[in-house]
Amino acid sequence: MEKEKCILIVEDEAVNRIYFTRVLGKVGIKVDQAANGRDAVTKALANDYDLILMDLKMPLMDGIQATEAIREAEESRHTPIIALTSYSYPEDQQKCRSAGMDDFLSKPINNRLLLDKVYKFL
């Protein structure tokens, strides 16, 4: 039997965390949540997530800093990280990739595109 897939949602807006949890829960994906980058790093290093959806603009530690910290601490593992951003300029995409993110989704989020990206990395 295959292990249940678990995604970490990193988003400072509670309504967005609820939205992602509902959309992903409907397709049988377990979701854990973090409200800022600092919590995301702690949770990512303590758990074996299949994927991380990472907002870029957050208090305490932004998504770029959190991704860099996760990548620095990972040893043999590479957890896919998808940026969640309202900025979709090429230079923003490059910053995400340079930090170690694998892909990005522009806000507002389209459910079909979200699920397509999630399934791509699961």
Q: Is 101 within the bounds of a domain?
A: yes
CATH number at residue 76: 3.40.50.2300
Q: Is 33 within the bounds of a domain?
A: yes
Q: What are the tens digits of pLDDT across the range 37-52?
A: 999 999 999 999 999 9
Predicted pLDDT at 2? 65
Q: Is 21 within the bounds of a domain?
A: yes
Angle, CA of 48, 66 and 41, to the nearest 5°: 40
The proportion of the chain whose per-residue pLDDT surpasses 90, expressed as a percent, equals 80
Name the more confident of 28 and 77.
28
Predicted pLDDT at 77? 87
pTM score of the predicted model: 0.94
Is 60 exceeded by the pLDDT of residue 20?
A: yes
To the nearest whole number, what is the mean pLDDT of the chain? 93
Give me the number of domains the chain comprises: 1
Q: What are the tens digits of pLDDT across the range 78-122?
A: 999 999 988 778 888 899 999 999 999 988 889 999 999 999 999
Q: How confident is the model at residue 29 (pLDDT cuts 50, 70, 90)?
A: very high
Q: Is 1 within the bounds of a domain?
A: no
- Per the structure, the complete domain to which residue 37 belongs is given by 6-121
